[in-house]
Structure 1
Amino acid sequence: MKKFTLGLKMSLAAISCVFFCAFSEPDTLIESVTVLQKYLTDHYDTSQESATIKRYELNITNNGFCRYKRYFNSGKTEYFAFKLSKFSGMEYIGDTASGRLLLRTKGDDVIVQTYKDQGGDVDSMATQVVIPLKNIEAEDLNVLQNNFVKISKLVQ
């Protein structure tokens, strides 16, 4: 009887461990997505493009996509999207007051779509997305980098 009770206790412990581990990863993904979305929204620099851009949309989704859409005053729309599993690195060009964040992918993994352009609608591929940022410190860039890497590993 003691062997049965010990076996039952061990199997319950193993099942509870598996149960808790199974539900820990999505929280990490959602948490990382939330952090990325907040940092990018808080530090987005509309003044770098205010003369030509009417509005923008910048979203990091729970299923691992980065989507960036710009609406120009002329009516033109640019849309950039890539799966974060294709993220290869980032680079920041500028200073703490103002700069541009380059999100690089492993290959031509960024979908670029242009609507209502003078040359017509264009679909193409790119290797990076450029996002204007302001008031960002080195620690903030490290947080961005760590969360991009964490999400890219989780969504593979």
Structure 2
Amino acid sequence: MFLCAFSDPETLEQYTGYLQKSFADHYDSSQENGKVKSYELNVTNNGFCRYKRYYNNGKTEYFAFKLAKFKDMDYYGTTNAGKLYIRTKGDDVIVQTYKDRGGDVDSMATQIIIPLKNVEAEDLNQIRNNLERIVKLPPAEVPKTEVKSED
């Protein structure tokens, strides 16, 4: 216990780095049924998850949320393949669609769904633990700006 008092606390960068590696290692593009040409899935060091899918027909979908807004997650599938549902506290997921039949659409959602493969229960537990630790981090200090009024 004494040694723990002097250990470096884990940082946002460590948590996001773990999540980025996990999503990169386990992402399953085969679940897209050949409709998605390419994708980008990034967890940033400043605490955001961004997921972009480029479809063969030209359509693009973009999802983004602040990891501190994480509420819960569920995994539906097997260790071979499944979908990870990451839920937020409210309508915290930005959803943007470009070049869709219905036009460009901006909306908000409560979850993001990521197709995964070769994922064990321990992998999912570690993803959850890292997300929960990010939520518990103290908010970054925002520099105060002084506002002066002119009389």
Scaled by the length of structure 1, what TM-score is found? 0.81
Structure 1 portions without partners, runs of 5+: 1-19
Q: Are the equivalent residues in 1 in contact too, given 2:13–2:46 (CA < 8 A)?
A: no
8 Å CA contact retained: 1:85, 1:151: yes
Q: Percent identity?
A: 66
Where structure 2 has 5 or more consecutive residues not aligned to the other structure, the ranges are: 1-5, 140-151
Shift in Å, 1:83: 0.7
Structure 1 counterpart of 2:88: 105
SS of residue in 1 equivalent to 2:130: helix
What letter corresponds to residue 102 of structure 2 in structure 1? G
Structure-1 separation of matches of 2:56 and 2:131? 31
Q: Which protein shows a greater Rg?
A: 1
Inter-partner Cα distance in structure 1 for 2:38 and 2:53: 6
TM-aligned CA deviation for residue 50 of structure 1:
4.2
Aligned match of 1:85? 68
Q: Deviations over 1:19-74 (max 9, x none)?
A: x89xx45x521111111100110000010004100011011111111110000000
AA of the residue aligned to 1:134: K
Aligned to 2:146: none
- Counterpart contact for 1:84–1:155, Cα < 8 Å: no
Which one-letter code corresponds to 2:32 in the other structure? E
Displaced runs of 4 or more, over 3 A: none
Cα shift at 1:154: 2.0
Aligned counterpart, 2:125: 142
* Of 53, 77, 89, the match for 2:36: 53
Of 29, 36, 50 in structure 2, the residue corresponding to residue 67 of structure 1 is 50
TM-score, normalization by structure 2: 0.84
Q: Structure 1: how far apart are the matches of 2:23 and 2:130?
A: 12
Q: How large is the Cα RMSD of the aligned pairs?
A: 1.5
Alignment correspondent of 2:13: 30
Structure with greater proportional helix content: 1
Q: 1:62 to 1:155 in 2, by over 3 A?
A: farther
2: CA distance, partners of 1:60 / 1:153: 17
Q: Is contact 1:64–1:155 with CA below 8 Å preserved after alignment?
A: no
